[in-house]
């Protein structure tokens, strides 16, 4: 083989076209992944809410004390119709679950900030209370809405057992 002595390489124009095509494909891929990322963030926030409710129920059974779950906004409790960015679990100092609760008689057990600036609201008024037997205080299902609009997920705490995350507003835990 005889070399002609000429070096072979890429021209500047070929390199620029290749880089431009890579940038275009990256932009299209990123735009296509945005809905998936939003869905993932919503699912992660709903799972964090469901896990907190499960832990609150388990703590109520383990300690023999009522545990309260309430929504917070910037660290302060919110009204029944306002969404919050955190959830807090508190337990009563005494074993009395029947008398009205004094906020000073509650001991904070856990606080969870929802990921990715998600918001949580609750259907109904008051705060969810788990009795020492694991049941909800009023014997009703409690529904929490995570996210907003049509993309929201619902977390349901059944009165006697399971906590589940639902994609739609209809239905409940099995």
For residue 112, pLDDT over 90 is answered with yes
The verdict on residue 96 lying in a domain is yes
pLDDT at residue 117, as a whole number: 83
For residue 171, pLDDT over 70 is answered with no
Positive or negative: CA dihedral 122, 127, 130, 136: negative
User: Among residues of the chain, what percentage have pLDDT more than 70?
Assistant: 92
Kindly report, residue by residue over 6-55, the tens digit of the pLDDT. Answer: 767 888 898 999 999 999 888 888 777 777 788 888 899 999 999 999 99
The verdict on residue 29 lying in a domain is no
pLDDT at residue 19, as a whole number: 93
Query: For residues 57-72, b (16+ Cβ closer than 10 Å) or e, as one string?
Result: bebbeeeebbbbbbbb
pLDDT at residue 47, as a whole number: 92
Instruction: Give me the number of domains the chain comprises.
Output: 1
The verdict on residue 124 lying in a domain is yes
What predicted TM-score, i.e. pTM, was given to this entire model? 0.78
The verdict on residue 22 lying in a domain is no
pLDDT at residue 127, as a whole number: 84
Beta-strand ranges (E) seen in 48-171 are: 67-73, 76-77, 86-92, 106-113, 120-122, 128-130, 142-146, 153-157, 163-166
The verdict on residue 144 lying in a domain is yes
What CATH number does the domain containing 139 carry? 3.55.40.10
Helix (H) or strand (E) holding 21, with range, is helix 12-63
The verdict on residue 93 lying in a domain is yes
The verdict on residue 25 lying in a domain is no
The Cα 172–Cα 154 span in angstroms is 9
For 54, 56, 99, the CA distances from 108, given in Å and listed in that order, are 16, 11, 19
The verdict on residue 88 lying in a domain is yes
pLDDT at residue 63, as a whole number: 92
8 A C-beta contact, residue 95 and residue 63? no
Which residues constitute the domain of residue 158? 38-166
């Amino acid at each position: 083989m005889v070399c002609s002595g000429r070096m072979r390489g890429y021209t500047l124009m070929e390199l620029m076209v290749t880089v431009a095509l890579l940038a275009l494909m990256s932009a299209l891929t990123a735009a296509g992944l945005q809905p998936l990322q939003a869905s993932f963030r919503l699912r992660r926030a709903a799972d964090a809410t469901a896990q907190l409710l499960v832990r609150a129920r388990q703590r109520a059974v383990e300690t023999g004390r009522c545990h309260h779950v309430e929504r917070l906004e910037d660290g302060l409790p919110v009204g029944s119709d306002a969404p919050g960015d955190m959830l807090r679990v508190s337990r009563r100092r005494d074993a009395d679950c029947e008398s009205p609760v004094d906020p000073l008689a509650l001991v904070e057990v856990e606080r969870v900030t929802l990921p990715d600036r998600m918001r949580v609201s609750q259907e109904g008024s008051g705060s969810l209370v788990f009795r020492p037997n694991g049941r909800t205080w009023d014997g009703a299902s409690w529904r929490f809405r995570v996210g907003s609009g049509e993309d929201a997920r619902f977390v349901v705490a059944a009165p006697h057992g399971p906590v589940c995350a639902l994609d739609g507003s209809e239905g409940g835990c099995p």
